[in-house]
Structures are given as structure tokens and as C-alpha cells.
Structure 1
Amino acid sequence: MAAPPKPQGTIKTRILIISDTHSAPLQASTEAASDGDNARAFQSPLPAADVLLHCGDLTMMGHLDEYRGALDMISAVNAPLKLVIAGNHDISLDGQFYHGNSKGVGMSNGKRMHKYDFDEDMPDQAMEMWKGELANKAGVTYLEEGLHEFELGNGARLKIYSSPYQPEFCNWAFAYDHHEDRFNPPNLPPTPLPPNSKPYKNIAVTPVPELPAARSIDVFMTHGPPLRRLDRTATGLDVGCPHLLRAAERARPRLYCFGHIHEGWGAERVCWGGEEKDGVVKEVEKVQVDDAEAVKNHAALADVSAEGGSPLKAGEETLMVNASIMDLGYSPSHAPWLVELDLPKA
């Protein structure tokens, strides 16, 4: 059967996605087992791509030496554009949190968590590392919360919304209260919340703007997941954010990648417009992974391009990816994701 026609005005693009590396170095391929329990896909070299996305939790505790290690790891990836956001473990990249008072402790969060390595200037030094010369040498662009646009080397346009924030979790960085919505305009009706939630409150710090019918945002990149999308914990709880799910449904990006919930690793193809449960998702198709192939290729593959034979329906479908490298025991057991999709021409 002939492949479906390629969408007009698009370019096939390879996007490599990782998250929650927590200071783990790439394993040398000569050391990686080819089978058995010790087989690992997070090994050098990772597949070449047009762009690398790291969805946060670069470190365990946000120390400068951890950031250097993360930059070394990222610099080894063959991608001309490398986009990075922080996560809740990267505490020194959240200056407000780092200097803020820790609940019930009587000291700042930075001092509580860094103890003898505490440094008042740590947030400034950390930000300089990710926005200065070291990051430039590694080919890294650090993204704050908001909208960003890039022209890729292959001629495609990438319009991306990024945010390191997630619902409050054990008093770590980049957190907001579960009942607060920072992603949707305040003129919308309140987001339907799970049972026993606090009353709705819209803070709209940097909300995703009202989007045209053409759905102009290509990629959502957040640290935390949206509600009921690859967000289930080992205890069976769905801990993703309902406000993020609503924002994603409004924007309907081609790709939505995140991490944070290690045991939620995987990918799924979401069709919007349903009335079940959350009222926005119509159908979900899980992306199947051959573990042996993922180890062999150093990544799990999701091809939703026209050339792949099952192209994503822009404006109707979103490929959602939880790219956590670490498993629940903080072992780098999960594969990176290599996504192939069609992006608009620049």
C-alpha cells in the first residue's frame, strides 16, 4: 500500500526526548548488556535528531557539579538544537523557592536542602551556567516558562510552549497549589477538578493564549504530566494536572512531552473531543515498544509522520510522551524517545 501523501508545507523532523535523568551519565555502549535485567537503552551514542528536548529534573538536588555533569551528557548528543527546562529537583534554578522560607523549619529551602553546601548565590550561578558560556558550548538553550519559536536546521518551524512547574509535591521547587490554574485564561469556566479538590482558583501567571483554529503551537513541553495521561503512580493514583490537560486540549499540539512521574514512562496517541471522564479526550492508543529494539537502537521509536504510514492528524491528535529515564528506584532503566513527525516549514 502506498504511503499517505505528505502534508503540504511540512518537513519530517526527528525529535529526541529525555527527562528525569537526575545526574545520570550516558552508559558506554560497550558496557551495556545486550539482554537480561541489566539491559539499558540510555547509552551512548543516542540517536541523532533535529532537536533534543529535556523535560527537567536534570539533577538530584541542583548542585553546580550536577549541572556540569548534565551539560556534559547533553553536549554529547548529536542534535543542532537542544532545548532544556528545569524540574522540581533542580532547586537552585528556582530562585524564589531557594530563598523562600521552608515550611515549619525556620530556614530557607536552599539551606534546608543543601545544608553545608548552601550558597546564597547558588541560583545566580546556576542560571549563568544554563544561559552562559557553558550552555552555549554544549549547544543548549534553556527555556523559561512561556512561548518560544525556532527555525530548525532542516527548514522546519518549531513553536513550543514550555513550563517547569507542576502541582505541589513534597515541598520541592517549581510548584503550585493543586487548585491553582496558571495555564488557562481567567475568562474560561473553571476547569473540572477531581473529587475532594480545593476550590478552583485561577492565577494565570503566564497563561497559554487563546489560539487560532489552525492550532499554531507545535509542542508542549512541561515537567509534570496532564491529568490521566501517563501520570499514574505505583500506588495507583493519577497525579497529573487537570489545568494542563485543558490547556493541551485548547492548543492541541502535535507533541506533548513531560516526565516527573517515573513509572509513567511511555507514549500514547490522544484523539481530542471526547465526553468521557475529563470531557476532552475521545480516544487513546498506546504506542507499543519492543524493549530489545529500544536497547539496540538506544531509543524507543514513535513514527507519526506521513512517511511512517500513520500520520498524526494535526489539530485533532496529540502524541503524548513521558520520557522519564529513571525508574521508580532512580535507576536509568527507561529508553529515550525518538519521535518522527511532520512540522510546518519555517
Structure 2
Amino acid sequence: MAKPVATRFMIISDTHNFQFGNAEKWYGAFRQPVPKVDVLLHAGDLTERGGLKAYKGVLNMLSSIDAELKLVIGGNHDFSLDGNYWRNHLFEDADPEDIAEHDNAMEIFKGPLAKEAGVTYLEEGLNTFTLKNGAKFTIYTSPYQPEFYDWAFPYERNEDRFNLQDQSAPGVTSIATNPIPDFPSVDIMMTHGPPKDILDWTAHGTVGCENLLRAVSRARPRLYCFGHIHEAYGAKVITWKDDKTLIGAKAIEEQSPQPNVYPNSSSWPINFGKETLMVNAAIMNLQYRPTNAPWLVDLELPRAT
């Protein structure tokens, strides 16, 4: 078996129009110079409420991060990145500029501006990447989360985007067009919202998605990153029970909170299939101030053959 490849990731989320220079005002750690990494992961909420100028600002910020691969998804604040949401929320007398905003937003994130910034915008589904260091990984991404105040990328809690019907909870209807595959098909998961009862607490209780927890318990990736719930920022190593037929909370043996040592990197020797590092990487705190540090993680990935 080929020797695994140590690969450095920077994980961020919920930057909400952040630009370098903002963190210093709030004694935050996300400031230049940013450590060089192999892969940057951004788990959504790039902006406050979308907008073409804001999207270009996001690319400007991300362009200054030194990473071979920069993978980005949208979130519930990025209104016009969600085509269905955007079309359904236009006024009857919307002007042509508003009507065209989703298409123009996609052009920003998938066209020359994104390429120049080194950014790859991902929608829902699986993608596989090979890095210059020889590492290869498959990542599942989705910007969707349970319906939240009629904002972008929603689904109802009795709708399951991530599991097939026979894998869904009782009383839940599968609407999955890109279901998450079983272990060992996924190395990394990145969704905007968290799974149920893991780094998802709020003052009103936990708000994560049961369907996501069921899916991640089947997939057992090495790394699962998300954001959305600013106040639940943190990381845990989830240890799974040996019985891979168990789904959801029943599959969890242990949850172990992990410290953030940024700007140093943490090296977690994840036992693939037995453990998953889960990270809520929201840069903004509950008051939308950039006080939280990115997560810098070294993972051992399989070598491309």
C-alpha cells in the first residue's frame, strides 16, 4: 500500500464580506500573513445578503490566501447563488439586472475572476481532486441546510437531501438527487449547516440536521467541516462504533473536543472509518465580528495511483 500523504488544510466559514484588516479591530486571528496551505475549504456564507459587488469582494479576499486548491460553497446568506430561491423571490416588476443576478453570480464564481483568484466553486455533489504532492481525495459538498427564516438553500426538516428513502428516518421523505455514499467513498464532507447535536448549539437549543447526522454516520469521512451556527464554533473528533450498520446518534461511540492552535497546524492521525474530525469553522461570532481563528489541519490522505 502506498504511503499516505500529509496534506495541510485551512478551514473557514461564515466570513460574511470579511476583508483582511477587519480582524484586527476585534483582536481576531484571521489576519495577514496567512499560513500557506495545500487546500482552503470555505463552508459558505460568503456574504451578508449576496450581491455581485460582494461576491467580487469575496474573490479578492480569497485571492490573497496562498493555497494550491481553494474550494468554496454557498450558504443561506448568499441569496443569489441559489437559483431557485432567487427566481422565486423576485418581484413581478423586477428589472433585468435583478433577473440576471443569479447567472451573473455564477459567472463570477465559475468564470475568469474565480480562476484568477484560484477559487473552485462547488455545488451539491461529489468531486475528486489530485494535488501536486500526490494526495488524492473525494469531497462531498452541499450548501443546503434546514429552512431558516426563508433564506437561501433551504429544505424542510421532514425532507432528506442526503440519504435514500431506505436510509431516511421514519416520517421523513427522501428528496435526494445527490445522496451521500457509504464508507469508504468520501474522504471529506463540507456542508453549510451542521449535523444534529454536534457543534450546533444555540441559546434556543441544538439546531443541526438529523438527516446530515445519518448521512455522515454512513460515510464516516476523515474530515467534515461546516459553519452556519456562529456560536457553536469548535472542533471534535467523533469516534464511531465498529458496527457500520448503525445510523445516526446510535453510531457514535465518543465525542472528543479539540483545541485550535492556529496559526500552528494540528495533526490528527484520523483512523479512517473509525474516526471523523468535525469542524465548525465560523469566523464570525454571534455578533458578526471576526473573532474566531481559521482551523489549520494536517490530514493523511491516500496517494493517487
Tell me the TM-score normalised to structure 1 length: 0.82
Q: Hey, what does 1:241 align to over in structure 2?
A: 209
Q: Deviation per CA, 1:267-304, whole angstroms, max 9, x where unpaired?
A: 000001288992121101100235xxx4xx2xx74321
Which string of whole-angstrom CA distances, capped at 9 and with x for unpartnered residues, describes residues 53-104 of structure 1?
000000001111100110000000000110000001111011110111xxxx
Q: Which amino acid aligns with 1:319?
A: L
Q: Partners of 1:208 and 1:289 in 2: how far apart?
A: 28
Q: Contact 2:2–2:303 at 8 Å: present in 1 too?
A: no
Task: Describe the SS at the equivalent of 2:14.
Answer: coil
Counterpart of 2:198 in structure 1: which amino acid? R
User: Which of 223, 226, 231 is the aligned partner of 1:263?
Assistant: 231
Judged with a 3 Å threshold, the aligned counterparts in structure 2 of structure 1 residues 142 and 276 are, in CA distance, closer, same or farther, namely closer
Q: Which residue of 2 aligns with 1:85?
A: 73
Match of 2:60 in 1: 72
- The residue number in structure 1 matching 2:140 is 161
CA distance in 1, matches of 2:32, 2:15: 14
Contact 1:110 1:118 in 2 (8 A): no
2:296 maps to a residue whose letter is L
For residue 169 of structure 2, what is the aligned residue in structure 1? 191
- 2:221–2:276 contact (8 Å) kept in structure 1: yes
TM-score (norm 2): 0.92
Q: Distance in 2 between matches of 1:118 and 1:232?
A: 39
2:260 to 289, 293, 298: 289
Alignment match, 1:307: none
Residues 86 and 276 (structure 1 numbering): CA distance in 2 closer, same or farther, change over 3 Å? closer
Aligned residue number for residue 20 of structure 2: 26
Query: Could you tell me which residue of structure 1 aligns to residue 8 of structure 2?
Result: 14
Q: Which has the larger radius of gyration?
A: 1
User: Which of residues 103, 111, 117 in structure 2 aligns to 1:132?
Assistant: 111
Identity level (%): 50
Aligned to 1:232: 201
Partner SS, residue 240 of structure 1: coil
Unaligned runs of 5+ in 1: 1-6, 101-108, 193-198, 305-310
Provide structure 2 residue ranges, at least 5 long, that are not aligned to the other structure. Answer: none
Deviations 1:1-52 (A, max 9, x none): xxxxxx9531000000110000010227xx837xxxx421011122111000
Residues in 1 aligned to 2:259 and 2:68: alpha-carbon distance in whole angstroms: 28
CA distance in 2 between counterparts of 1:143 and 1:52 reads 13
SS in 2 for 1:284: strand
Query: Are positions 1:54 and 2:46 aligned together?
Result: no
Aligned to 1:200: 172
For the residue of structure 1 that corresponds to 2:98, the secondary structure is: coil
Q: 8 Å contact 1:15–1:339 — kept in the other structure?
A: yes
Aligned partner of 1:332: which letter?
Answer: P
1:101-130 Cα shifts (integer Å, max 9, x gaps):
xxxxxxxx2459xx9997110000000000
